[in-house]
């Protein structure tokens, strides 16, 4: 068999194998379980990762499943991003979300248009079940976060922008503590 046919066959087999293996990795999910959620779901905080990311334990088909949830509409200063220094007010934002929704807190997770980001995290608005506190908004009100609107998940963008504007005017949180830049 001529060399170009062997190379072509090898490349074809390699491509198919890569797609199968890659597809299996994607199918297994970047998240721990990759369940499909309805527009909202009840869960319990399993762990706070940082100021805008938490692990939530859900009950799916009668079994406990923990999934990573990224609070949409907000962005807190980095504390754990690889190769990135801890940003101004990052530790305070992480500490505050731990106070608002400590481990074991029951929450309602509400989706917008897209269920997951490119990292497999659930994209959601998070509400504390006991009193309905809108956690994403509360972090903005206190100046622990900035608005981060990424289409198509912008159904509450106006409400979140108003909360940030109020914190900026009052120089709350990062708005009074961190250099603008």
| pLDDT tens for each residue of 69-122 | 999 999 999 988 888 888 999 999 999 999 999 999 999 999 999 999 999 999
Active site residues: 70, 78, 121
Into how many domains does the chain fold? 2
> Can you give the pTM of this predicted structure?
0.79
Q: Is the pLDDT of residue 172 over 60?
A: yes
The answer to the question of residue 83 being in a domain is yes
Across 36-40, 105-109, 175-179, the highest mean pLDDT is recorded for: 105-109
Q: Give the pLDDT score at 38.
A: 60
What is the spatial distance between Cα 69 and Cα 124, in angstroms, rounded to a whole number? 7
Is residue 142 very low, low, confident or very high in pLDDT (cuts 50, 70, 90)?
very high
Q: What residues form DSSP beta bridges with 69?
A: 54, 122
The answer to the question of residue 25 being in a domain is yes
SS3 call for 164: helix
Q: Which domain holds residue 25?
A: 1-30
Phi, psi of 96, rounded to the nearest 5 degrees: -70, -40
């Amino acid at each position: 068999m001529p060399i170009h046919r062997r190379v072509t066959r090898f490349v074809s087999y390699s491509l198919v194998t890569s797609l199968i293996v890659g597809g299996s990795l994607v199918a297994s999910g970047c998240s721990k379980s990759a369940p499909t959620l309805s527009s909202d779901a009840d869960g319990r905080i399993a762990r706070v990762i940082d100021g805008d990311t938490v692990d939530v334990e859900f009950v799916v088909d009668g079994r406990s499943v923990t999934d990573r949830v990224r609070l949409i509409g907000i962005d807190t200063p980095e504390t754990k991003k690889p190769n990135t220094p801890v940003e101004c007010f990052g530790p305070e934002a992480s500490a505050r979300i731990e106070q608002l929704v400590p481990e074991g807190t029951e929450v309602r997770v509400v989706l917008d248009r897209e269920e997951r980001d490119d990292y497999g995290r659930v994209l959601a608005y998070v509400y504390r079940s006991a009193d309905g506190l809108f956690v994403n908004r509360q972090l903005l009100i206190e100046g622990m976060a900035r608005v981060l609107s990424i289409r198509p998940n912008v159904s509450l963008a106006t409400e979140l922008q108003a909360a940030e504007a109020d914190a900026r005017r009052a120089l709350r949180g990062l708005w009074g503590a961190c250099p603008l830049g």
